[in-house]
Amino acid sequence: GNSVTQMEGPVTLSEEAFLTINCTYTATGYPSLFWYVQYPGEGLQLLLKATKADDKGSNKGFEATYRKETTSFHLEKGSVQVSDSAVYFCALSDRNRGSTLGRLYFGRGTQLTVWP
Amino acid sequence: ETGVTQSPTHLIKTRGQQVTLRCSSQSGHNTVSWYQQALGQGPQFIFQYYREEENGRGNFPPRFSGLQFPNYSSELNVNALELDDSALYLCASSPPGAGANVLTFGAGSRLTVL
C-alpha cells in the first residue's frame, strides 16, 4: 500500500540554522511527492513537489530531492527564519490510480518552531 | 482567484447528530476532495467528487457522504456523529485533469463532537 513516514517533532531551531526534515515513503508504482506547509489557522499550502526520480523540488529556499533508491524525499533549508514556523507535511500521490484522482497520502506532520 | 472557502469555520455538535460542511471551489476548478485531519495527524482522504458524482473514496463509512453542485461547490455530510469525528475537515479543489498534482486547500472547518 501507500504510506508516508516523516520524522517526529517538534523541531526547534534558532534563526539561520540548517533544517532537515526526513521523509520516507512506501508506494505501489511511481508516485509524485510533495511537501505541504500549514501555518496556524490556515489551510495546507503546497511548498514544493517532484514528479519523478532524481527531480528536485524547490521553493522559498526549501529543497527536496526525489530519491527512488532510498524511497526518500527529505526537506532541507539552509537558513531558517522565524516566519518558517509551521507544520510541514510530506505526501505522495499514486499516479497509477489515474491522474484525475486528487488523493494524497500524508505523513503525520512535523512541527517546526524557529526562535529569533 | 478567490481560493477555496469553507463554512462554518468552527462548530460543536453532540453524539448522534448530523452535520453539513460546505465548500466553494476555486474558480476554474471542477474537482473537489475532502480530507479529515484529526489533532496531531496528517489529513486522511475521505472522497472526491467530479461532475457531481463520487469518483474515489478512502476508508470512511457510508455515514460520510457528499454532494457536488453544478457550480462545483460541495458539501460534506456526516450522520450519527461519533466522538472520533472531532477533527479539522479540509476541502481541496483541482482544475480539470490535474488530480493531486494541483490541489488548493481551504482553511478548514473544525468540528467538535461532545
pLDDT in tens, A34-57: 999 999 888 899 999 999 999 999
User: For residues B69 and A61, what is the distance between their CA atoms, to the nearest angstrom?
Assistant: 39
Is B42 in CB contact (< 8 Å) with chain A?
yes
pLDDT confidence of residue A95: 64
Which string of b and e fits A30-44 if b means at least 16 CB within 10 Å?
ebbbbbbbbeeeebb
**CA angle at residue B102 from B99 to B103, to 5 degrees?**
90
Is B31 in CB contact (< 8 Å) with chain A?
yes
For residue A1 the three cell numbers come to: 500500500
Lowest mean pLDDT across A1-10, B3-12, B79-88: A1-10
Contacts of A49 in chain B (CB under 8 A): 101
Contacts of B46 in chain A (CB under 8 A): none
Peptide bond into A10 cis (omega under 30): yes
Phi then psi for residue A21, to 5 deg, are -120, 120
Highest-pLDDT range among A35-49, A55-69, A82-96, B19-33: A55-69
Which residues lie below 8 Å from residue B56, measured CB to CB, with a gap of 6+?
A: A97, A101, A102, A103, B33, B45, B47, B48
Q: What's the burial of A86, exposed, middle or buried (CB within 10 Å: 0-12/13-18/19+)?
A: buried
For residues A43 and B106, the answer to whether their CB atoms sit within 8 Å is yes
For residues B48 and B74, the answer to whether their CB atoms sit within 8 Å is no
For residues B9 and B107, the answer to whether their CB atoms sit within 8 Å is yes
pLDDT confidence of residue A46: 94
pLDDT above 80 for A96 = no
Query: For the segment A7-24, what is each residue's pLDDT rounded down to a tens digit?
Result: 888 999 999 999 999 999
Mean predicted confidence (pLDDT) in B84-103: 89
Q: What's the burial of A59, exposed, middle or buried (CB within 10 Å: 0-12/13-18/19+)?
A: middle
- Contacts with B, A 71-100, CB within 8 Å: 89, 91, 93, 97-100
Is A106 in CB contact (< 8 Å) with chain B?
yes
pLDDT confidence of residue A70: 95
Contacts of A89 in chain B (CB under 8 A): 42-43
pLDDT above 90 for A100 = no
pLDDT band at B13 (very low <50, low <70, confident <90, very high): very high
pLDDT confidence of residue A97: 53
Tell the residue number behind the cell numbers 512541527, with chain if given. Answer: A111
For residues A21 and A6, the answer to whether their CB atoms sit within 8 Å is yes
Query: CB atoms < 10 A from the CB of A11, how many?
Result: 18
Mean predicted confidence (pLDDT) in B2-11: 92
| Euclidean distance between the first and the last CA atom of chain A, given in angstroms as a whole number | 41
pLDDT confidence of residue B80: 97
Tell the residue number behind the cell numbers 468540528, with chain if given. Answer: B111
Peptide bond into B95 cis (omega under 30): no
For residues A25 and A104, the answer to whether their CB atoms sit within 8 Å is no
